[in-house]
Structure 1
């Protein structure tokens, strides 16, 4: 007789409540990994595209020509390209309607770019908070399954004349698997959440810096012409 049990055997021999807990935790883990892979790809792409566009922006290319090039594919713009497109479009519109109000032009342009940035950040960080939820509740769900399973194992001994460790050990092992699955779901989720949050902060800072730098250029344009 062997004392080794594989996961499937532990799962099948566990009570219905413990089985439900394990299934819930496995679903959480699968969803978490799907989010981790998807968001990692999206953030990597966003950071690379941001750097690529800013290199082009600072290459000395005429801003009007840059805007016209983006106009041709405005429906697929993302990140810094979208922020620049929205900002320059609003800047041009305000400059035509309020040519003698440079402060209003800059404020309106900055507001439009910040709204665009917020939409880009919202899209990039979509579903990431779910990882924090999984990280925080999975251990407790697993612990609930374990406590329930152990309690059920000891209650089954109530009618036994002589209780031994050998009688309760299998039930305890089946119950403890819930805690293990809870940690299996929580640990990658919390690590990924922290890493993705740092990358989100970096991306948001990149966008914010670009807005500040672009606004400075537009400031020189409107006030320079206004002073002349």
Structure 2
């Protein structure tokens, strides 16, 4: 019994000394399991840590940073979905690209009709341009060649023979002069014949002028009205854009810009149709004026040939009268 008491007393002393040591040593001693009975405990000097060894305080690692980085795409998706929920018309009204074709497809039905009409007007303008260019070129060349052929003719009959079966305004003028000479046979008044022939010539010149100006009025109409038609489409498109803005309850540029761009496209098409029409009209007005002057020269040539025939007729009748009087 005495031996057991002697063994327990050192152990109690060691435990008491360890509890009075540093808090770290006390914490380590509390976690250690008590030695079993019958086993000698280590000395107190071995259980106390060295005072010079610093005790490292536990440092918490920033475990929240990687999850925040990994959650960034999810946050972006959530913000995008919330923006779509706030502006539900954005995904519907904004085209994928602001090209003229996509803007035309997303425009209002009335604006589409305006754009189609302006595109058709532009097509008509260029069709008239090509057709009138060919027509005026051929007309000027044919009339110039005909005037060259009759420049040496001394009578209406010779002029008609020089022209042959060619049709044109000069052939019509020569035919009108011959017709008036036949109808006025036996009339001694040359002035009356020339006056009636000049009236026929004026009618032919006016008819040729109307024929050669065919299509010019349409060019003038397109050039004058296309900007206003395009402006009408723009006003209508901007009205629809403001209505869409009021429904979306936002002034975001992504919502406002497509509608305004679609509206301005109508004005652009109106200018595309009007500017070439005005330029082409002014060009053909000058060319037509030159051709009408050439037709006037043809009318003068026919009138001079008629006057020569009349003078020959009266000269021959006067000579026959003098010969009969001498007999």
Which residue pairs with 1:141 in the alignment?
Answer: 229
Contact residue 145 and residue 175 of structure 1 kept, 8 A:
yes
- Residue 32 of structure 1 and its aligned partner are, at CA, apart by 1.5
Aligned CA distance change for structure 1 residues 62 and 101 (closer, same or farther; 3 Å): closer
> 1:161 & 1:217 partners in 2: Cα distance?
83
Instruction: Please point out which of 119, 122, 126 is paired with 1:33.
Output: 126
135-144 or 112-121: bigger deviation? 112-121
Structure 2: runs of 5 or more not aligned: 1-93, 319-327
Residues 179-206 of structure 1, C-alpha deviations (whole Å, 9 max, x = no match): 1111111111111111111111111111
Aligned CA distance change for structure 1 residues 105 and 170 (closer, same or farther; 3 Å): same
Contact residue 156 and residue 306 of structure 2 kept, 8 A:
no
> 1:224 & 1:149 partners in 2: Cα distance?
76
2:295 corresponds to 1:202: no
Instruction: Please point out which of 173, 184, 187 is paired with 2:272.
Output: 184
- Residue 210 of structure 1 and its aligned partner are, at CA, apart by 2.4
Residues 35-55 of structure 1, C-alpha deviations (whole Å, 9 max, x = no match): 111111111111111110111
Task: Name the one with the larger helix percent.
Answer: 1
Largest Rg, 1 or 2: 2
150-159 or 138-147: bigger deviation? 150-159
Under a length normalisation based on structure 2, what TM-score does the superposition of the two structures give? 0.63
Which residue pairs with 1:122 in the alignment?
Answer: 210
Which residue pairs with 1:90 in the alignment?
Answer: 179
Larger RCO, structure (CA 8 Å, separation 6 or more) = 1
Structure 1: runs of 5 or more not aligned: none
- Residue 147 of structure 1 and its aligned partner are, at CA, apart by 1.1
Instruction: Please point out which of 255, 260, 273 is paired with 1:167.
Output: 255
Residues 133-157 of structure 1, C-alpha deviations (whole Å, 9 max, x = no match): 0000001100110111011101111
> 1:81 & 1:192 partners in 2: Cα distance?
30
2:237 corresponds to 1:153: no
Contact residue 50 and residue 81 of structure 1 kept, 8 A:
no
113-122 or 188-197: bigger deviation? 113-122
Which residue pairs with 2:17 in the alignment?
Answer: none
- Residue 3 of structure 1 and its aligned partner are, at CA, apart by 7.8
Under a length normalisation based on structure 1, what TM-score does the superposition of the two structures give? 0.88
Aligned CA distance change for structure 1 residues 213 and 200 (closer, same or farther; 3 Å): same
> 1:160 & 1:225 partners in 2: Cα distance?
92
Which residue pairs with 2:151 in the alignment?
Answer: 58
Contact residue 143 and residue 178 of structure 1 kept, 8 A:
yes
Contact residue 78 and residue 120 of structure 1 kept, 8 A:
no
> 2:155 & 2:309 partners in 1: Cα distance?
13
38-47 or 160-169: bigger deviation? 160-169
Instruction: Please point out which of 57, 62, 77 is paired with 2:167.
Output: 77
